[in-house]
């Protein structure tokens, strides 16, 4: 008989759950002493590092919604209960909103600085805050943008239209690129305070171009039926510099095995400084659907009614999840109980949990290549879509520390198979999104969930305890907004999470 703890786990993320009043205005800088006395170069490192820790909640939500992660039903009860039931409320994953806004605050202060000698620093801050604002729009839609984070000038900012914010972010990225290109010897050099590209401004230009590509690609489906968007994309792609990041975009300010200094992902899902497993290490396990799919087998989830067994083994499964008795990965059906689950379930694998000093991931090279593959397949940019698609698989394997030979074997074996191979998939967009789901597992899964809402692919099943027929289209505005900005926040009911959508979601 299995022993089950009486502990009830709701949301597993334990970091950064404290609410903050008036965070959309920010009266005081999060970096003391006052920001007026600190130059952008001294603020930048912390301004870049702080928001990364706040991405963990969105990543976790993506992993649950895309059936990558399950609850360890052999040790805990109630794990991911709200997520599986699709019980979305104003308290559901509120850190995605609250902590992201707080994280953006210092970035906006830097980007709005009037000190001309720090143009490179201001450009970096603009690019990074664009990254986070897109994530906010993709989860919530309309939100405070132009008048938010005014530092004592406006405690109740108005809401901006989600499409308008997207278009503004593209303009902001153009301005950041111009600022970098126009910088001269009088501008302060960027050094170790840049914990992403270590002062390489050419790479910042590439990242800005890459984020522009993602902002534009998110509107591909809308452009199929909206002429104005189609015209907008045609104009933007005509001017888009096809100079994108060609590596994983990672962050590392110097993570070490010390209190408060570990990589936040490792500290949240791995081990503490003494080497003890944290609660999430034992509470979260592999979901059966993702495991069986990567093993080429038919998933056990009763909501899967079609045969999707590819017969192709994907070595990434052994990097994402640990092997039981060094032989196989074992997952749990989302929503199942201990009576119908295996005695041992796989936890996080060595591709995800490495050590305290591991890099944090903002954007995977595989995702960047798949964005290009989609843009090429839709005739927005020139190139060979199949090559980008298969290079994305190679990049995913490499990022996980898997051998190039295993990547080539998988590419060869999968190419003729539907869903995972280029030649074998009649629907190329479905194949691209399936490979994006496989590549972002564990690390940047929010992107896969967002893309699922845009395209409907891959068609991962609901948990067997789901109380709704479909996954939500968005998150609800958090309680903190209704408490501090009630005059402006749109009124919502729980049904709005399922009945209303982000502007690019037309499915």
CA proximity to 75, closest of 412, 372, 338: 338
pLDDT of residue 12: 40
Low-confidence ranges of the chain (pLDDT < 70): 1-37, 152
pLDDT of residue 34: 53
Which architecture, in CATH terms, is 35-257+357-499? Alpha Horseshoe (1.25)
Name the DSSP letter for residue 102: H
pLDDT of residue 206: 98
Q: How many residues does the chain have?
A: 507
- Paired tokens of 346: 């796989």
pLDDT of residue 271: 98
Separation between Cα atoms, residue 1 and residue 13, nearest integer Å: 29
Separation between Cα atoms, residue 231 and residue 331, nearest integer Å: 46
277 forms beta bridges with 271
pLDDT of residue 116: 84
DSSP strand E in 41-126: where? Answer: 69-71
Domain residue spans in the chain? 35-257+357-499
Neighbouring C-beta atoms of residue 448, cutoff 10 Å: 26
Separation between Cα atoms, residue 29 and residue 49, nearest integer Å: 15
Reduced to 3 states (helix: H, G, I; strand: E, B; else coil), residue 226 is coil
Residue 157 CB partners (closer than 8 Å, separation 6+): 24, 25, 144, 146, 147, 148, 149, 150, 485, 488
Summarize pLDDT for 423-454 with one digit per residue, the tens. Answer: 999 999 999 999 999 999 999 999 999 999 99
Q: Where are the alpha helices (DSSP H) in 143-296?
A: 162-182, 201-217, 220-223, 227-239, 264-269, 279-283, 288-294
Summarize pLDDT for 186-206 with one digit per residue, the tens. Answer: 999 999 999 999 999 999 999
3-state DSSP helix/strand/coil % of the chain, to nearest 5:
45, 5, 50
Summarize pLDDT for 68-111 with one digit per residue, the tens. Answer: 999 999 999 899 999 999 999 999 999 999 999 988 999 999 99
pLDDT of residue 310: 97
327: Cα separation from own chain's centroid:
31
CA proximity to 55, closest of 364, 463, 287: 364
Cis peptide before 458 (omega within 30 of 0): yes
Kind plus residue range of the DSSP H or E element containing 83: helix 81-85
pLDDT of residue 36: 59
Contact 266, 254 (CB under 8 A): no
What does pLDDT average to over the chain? 92
Separation between Cα atoms, residue 223 and residue 237, nearest integer Å: 13
């Amino acid at each position: 008989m299995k022993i089950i703890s009486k502990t009830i786990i709701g949301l597993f993320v334990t970091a950064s759950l404290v609410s903050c009043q008036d965070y959309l205005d920010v009266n005081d800088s999060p970096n003391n002493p006052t920001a007026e006395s600190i130059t952008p170069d001294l603020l930048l490192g912390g301004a870049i590092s702080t928001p990364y820790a706040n991405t963990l909640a969105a990543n976790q939500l993506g992993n649950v919604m895309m059936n990558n992660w399950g609850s360890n039903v052999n040790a805990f009860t109630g794990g991911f209960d709200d997520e599986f039931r699709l019980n979305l409320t104003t308290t559901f994953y509120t850190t995605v909103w609250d902590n992201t806004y707080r994280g953006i605050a210092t970035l906006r202060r830097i980007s709005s600085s009037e000190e001309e000698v720090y143009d490179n620093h201001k450009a970096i801050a603009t690019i990074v805050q664009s990254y986070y604002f897109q994530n906010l729009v993709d989860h919530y839609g309309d939100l405070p943008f132009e008048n938010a984070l005014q530092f004592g000038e406006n405690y109740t900012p108005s809401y901006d239209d989600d499409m308008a914010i997207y278009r503004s972010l593209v303009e902001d990225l153009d301005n950041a690129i111009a600022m970098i290109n126009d910088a001269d010897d009088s501008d302060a050099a960027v050094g170790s305070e840049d914990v992403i590209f270590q002062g390489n401004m050419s790479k910042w230009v590439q990242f800005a171009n890459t984020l522009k590509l993602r902002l534009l690609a998110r509107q591909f489906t809308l452009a199929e039926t909206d002429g104005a968007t189609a015209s907008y994309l045609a104009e933007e792609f005509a001017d888009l510099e096809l100079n994108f990041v060609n590596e994983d975009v990672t962050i590392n300010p110097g993570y070490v095995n010390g209190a408060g200094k570990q990589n936040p992902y490792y500290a949240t899902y791995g081990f503490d400084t003494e080497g003890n497993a944290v609660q999430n290490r034992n509470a979260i396990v592999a979901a059966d659907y993702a495991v069986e799919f990567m093993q080429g087998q038919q998933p056990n989830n009763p909501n899967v009614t079609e045969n999707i067994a590819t017969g192709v083994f994907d070595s990434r499964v052994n990097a994402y999840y640990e092997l039981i008795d060094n032989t196989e990965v074992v997952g749990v059906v989302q929503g199942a109980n201990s009576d119908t689950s295996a005695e041992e379930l796989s936890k996080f694998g060595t591709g995800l949990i490495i050590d305290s000093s591991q890099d944090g991931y903002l954007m995977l090279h595989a995702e960047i290549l798949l964005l290009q593959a989609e843009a090429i397949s839709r005739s927005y940019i020139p190139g060979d879509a199949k090559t980008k698609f298969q290079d994305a698989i190679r990049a995913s394997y490499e990022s996980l520390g898997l051998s190039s030979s295993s990547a080539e074997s998988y590419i060869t074996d999968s190419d003729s198979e539907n869903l995972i191979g280029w030649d074998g998939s009649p629907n190329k967009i479905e194949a691209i999104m399936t490979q994006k789901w496989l590549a972002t597992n564990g690390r940047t899964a929010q992107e896969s969930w967002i893309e699922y809402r845009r395209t409907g692919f891959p068609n991962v099943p609901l948990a067997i305890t789901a109380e709704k027929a479909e996954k939500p289209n968005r998150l609800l505005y958090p309680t903190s907004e209704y408490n501090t900005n009630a005059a402006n926040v749109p009124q919502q009911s729980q049904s709005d999470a399922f009945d209303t959508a982000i502007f690019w979601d037309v499915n």
